[in-house]
Amino acid sequence: MKRLFHLSAAAVLLLSGAAASAQHFAKPEEAIAYRQSAFSLMQAHMTPLGAMATGKASYDPAAARLHADVVAYLAHLPWAGFVPGTDKGDTRARPEIWTDSARFQQEAVDFRQAAAGLSKAASSGQLDALKQAFSTTSQSCKSCHDAFRHKQSR
């Protein structure tokens, strides 16, 4: 648990430093890698929350709080990596991100709100609250993926 905390803290610190300069990517590939890294970290922290919420893992309130807090923080980061020129290359981003940017931006706002709710629910120490908030957050992920992400073909 201590190791996970230290790894998570290091990742958050690295990404938070990058967030400040996220609008100044030298190459489109850097922006794509930035946003993919943020999403990968979110997935790494959502997975154990999902396991607890579905009963596939024992509920650990302290671990849930840690994972949810990291997700809530990371929820602010990837959007800076969706800059012009990052629609090509090693990405599953769909063109609708740029052609329907108002909806994409709203999906980002909705996700940040859901992630904040997840953090609040995890802080309560109540498994039922975590289950509900995890469901809401997961639905927000799915909504954005369905509209703005190509299916994986690898």
Domains and CATH numbers, the chain: 2-81+88-148 (1.20.120.10)
- In this prediction, residue 3 carries a pLDDT of 53
Q: 4 has which bridge partners?
A: none
- In this prediction, residue 23 carries a pLDDT of 60
Residues of the chain with pLDDT under 50: 5-7, 9-10, 12-22, 154
Which residues are CB-neighbours of 16 under 8 A, at least 6 positions away? 73, 77
- In this prediction, residue 18 carries a pLDDT of 47
> pTM of the prediction?
0.83
Token pair of 30 as six digits: 């850097």
Q: 93 has which bridge partners?
A: 149
